[in-house]
Structure 1
């Protein structure tokens, strides 16, 4: 059967379509196969990445069933990963009950609310630290409200974090300790920022600048160190930072209210800033000055000694030689200018024949050089060719130096020749003395005595030939004492003179009625001298004098009481007389004649003068008895003295006297009784006015002293002789130039008593024809 062309065309088209479809299916199958292989490779790669990742996923379904890699079981210490979340804990491994319960609650909350959570757990029996992060699982991973939990092992991070926290805590503690140390440091310390502004200061700095606190110092930028040579503290600190080198300097600064010497150091701290501190070296400077002054005084003192002294330093160079040393060894002037070594000094002394003659001088000189290394002082005796005998003492010093002392003992050798003569002379002198003498050694044995010593105690001389002990001597004389217990006083006197090196004395009464006075005197040689004297007659005379003195004291007390009582008794009638006279003057008893008024005025003037005299006598007697009342108050010295001067203007004008009051407010105030001090100073002014001639001059000067106030009242009157001044101070009347009695009275004694009652002092200087000056010193 033949096919039509149309059928063939359709058949061709069908075959082409079928072929294309087959080709498309084959190509799609190949692509899917390739995709499947790629997917499997990706899954294996992702699975391997999950296995090697630092985090492990765990899927928790709604029913509590879990899915995850077995590696999580190893982290939790389990043999295998269980099927349910509640099985992640057993008796010894896995999570603890508390962690498991907290995890279960967090998972349930996430499944319900889709809220993520974080927590940290530590498996039982393990040191691992696991971080847990949970979230609601994506629907592509699991459906039905499953939770996806990621587990992270941050044990190393936790250890590192713990270490860092520990180091941070330690650093914080170290910083706090350092800040506390800086704060407690007794020296001012500070820190400047990169711009050289103060950022931190300690308490010592705050106290040094007298600020309230550190904040005030920082806010106001109060500097401790002042500008020196045109540079302030900030500029010096900037130089230290720029050079990256500490700068140390010694400056004067005001610390508190005192000027002190400080050693200031600026320490650069890189880009952070500059730290600084100041050490008070005022005491060190004072010690240095004191040491230099001491060395100068010591050398000046050594120059005054008769013993030659030379000092050598650790290099064996002569640093000092006093005048006697230079004279003994005839040192040349060049050696005084340029210090010479010890060996050169010996050579020079040998050239001047000021050393002993020795056979081998170099060897002998080397032996002397060993003095510098000696452990103890060396002593030697040198006899010079001219017969001079020297005692040489070499004292090695701790610093390696040497002090050489040369003592010329030539005179001592000459004096030793006369020693026997002096001993005989001493014995003869002892025997010729009126006092009884006995010399005791420190061990209590008698060494020397004169002839009257055995006689005064009534003992035979043969007893002292054995040089008896003081205890044996006391045993022999105890039966001759009126009171045998007094022997102890004699023994203590001997002990005080010999052992205690103190003077002591006393008296004893013998059984025969004699009174002996004894005294112990330490002697320069270490012995003690016991002197005994018969004072029977003088004791009787002394007793009589004491009785007379007692009687005089009682009479003086009776006189004082009499004067005090009579002064009070005088006031009553005197007041009555004055009162009646004033009544008469006022006309109560009728008008008076002119002569009667003159008589009444004279009576009132006499009453006033007698009242003043009685008041002076009363105050003087009370002052001498220590009963004068003093009511102290603050007195302005200038205004007080001005008032006293103005109250005497009439007397000054009457004699045309010029009074110059010098002083100002700087005189200050004093604590004094206004009335009593006014009377004392008024008496001095009255005496000056009375002693000053017509048109004379009086000077009153007020000055403030450190210990009080000084007042000077000076006149250009006649003045007084020393004898007249003494009589005036005692209250006697003096005869004036016209033969009449002066008006000294009790003014000066009363003024002195009143001033001394205020704790002050009155000094009066007077010269005949040159005037009188009274100086009052008040505290």
Structure 2
């Protein structure tokens, strides 16, 4: 059987196209040579005889052979492609089967997840893109108040509390547009708690709403309560920071843990944290202990305490409450109220005491017309029971009782009279009426209404006044002739302040005429007439006050005045019967002038001494602080930390440092003298090794000796021993004397310090060979501010030897000085050994 060549392809049309092309070549009679057939047979597995029998014996040309070879190559490539496509098809089919299996499994998982998400205790809202409608999965319990409809669920303001809705809207907006995750706890209108979590995944925004229960719900509620309490605490702290009253908080040990700005200002710190850190207390220790002892959780401490704020005594109403973790308190400044209360109490007490001692009956009624105050004269006038008066009766009741006792004037219409009497409470003017009592007394009743309600009633008894006026007129006529012949100036005034009589000596001393001192002239007129001789109106006003006083017992008064003419008058104010007052004036000019000269001199010396002490005590303290600052900053400028100084700057800084140190020494000297003068200088006695003391003095004098080019020679015995004295003051004595000697010594000279013991006393002398001291200046060398600056190298304040004398005197020692011009000076001091105790210096 002859084999047939079949060309097939698994493609759609490949087999047919290739077969048709091969047959076309065969019909054209194109034949392949043996070589070609051999190749083809090798490819397809056929014998060469097959090609030969198929083609025949005809001979092919070269072109035909090439074309046929190409066809055969194309057929071979097609077969290879077909095999590869078949294999790929099988691979794709296998992958498709795997994809279908994975899709089925994914759908199953999605179903399970949707079942989990669709739980009634949670709802998930998914936003895919900014404008797309969100997808909602799951439901929340009905009892939470969350809407079940998707369209109503996103309207948070309808079912959430306003604060929770606002926070949630803001968080979702940041989640969707800024991919910012969040975790919130929100509350519904039914007071249910929900947990909301916002996340972003795969380009989508998720918000999960979970209904909490049991412990998680309780925890969420606690978080909300914590946030609310934190906000409340911050609000209260902000409020307490802004109030002007100091507020504080303490722990269980009583230590400050928080204060406000007002507390910080009160204890003079920059910030409240500094006050807490430094433990600055606004209350003293006794008050704090009292608070801790009396304060309980149910009974806070409430009291008014006093403390010192900014150097002033201040009163505070303190409220301190115990808390579980300690205590907290507030102090309200009531210094002004306390001052006003004390002033009011003093004023009321003073008025009550004044009115109670008046002989004129006085009664005060309040706005309800009840008796508020009465003096002894009022009770004695009407002879009323004290128990009845203390019951604060109504004014109408009081009038009825007096009428029943027959002590008020008889009236035709009692009701109208009482109504008219009580009308003063509705009036703004003072009413004055006369009451003629049945017992023969005549009273002037003065009723004055108070602006705030009530009235004051004053009962002036005119009965005795009429009798006194009659007797007074008689006495004036009898005494007139006697008074006119007295050498002393005499003037008699009535209780109304008008002059009744005056003698010629009175008018001559004051330089007034008889017409100006005519009887009936008021004391104001006398004062005006006497002004050319005495231009101090307060003097005559004082006379007028004593003359017109309403007191039953008017004390007499004496004094001295000086007229413009130079006359010195010794005056006397003597109360007379019938409420008159006599003024007498005696000319004591000659004796007063001599006494005054001595008093003025003594007063001038005393004031000068007081002025000096005040100046020393106040100014010295004020100078020391800035000088210390100047010295400190000067030393700081010398250090390398501030930066290098040029030569001139360094020189100026040295001058500043030297001058400041000198000035500080002067201020300290002045302060020491002021302390001695004030009598408060205390000596701290201790056992002093004199050899060590002298070594210390020589070390401190080294710079001064080098500066002056002077040598200090110290001569002491081998065993100088010890002494009981104030080491600091004794060293000051030695340094002051040696410094003074160096100051008045020339360069190259030697100052000799010789020390020895005489019994228990320590004696030393300082000798220099300087210019010496003139004999006329020796008595004043120990006086303050006395110095011979022209002869020394340095000018000083003249306080060195004065301080030496003061400190030596405090040690109960002695100091002497021997000197002559151009022969040097020797100062000898003796310091007795004391006992270890404190001695207070008496003021010089």
TM-score by length of 1: 0.36
Q: Determine which structure has more spread, i.e. the larger CA radius of gyration.
A: 2
Task: Provide TM-score, normalisation by structure 2.
Answer: 0.34
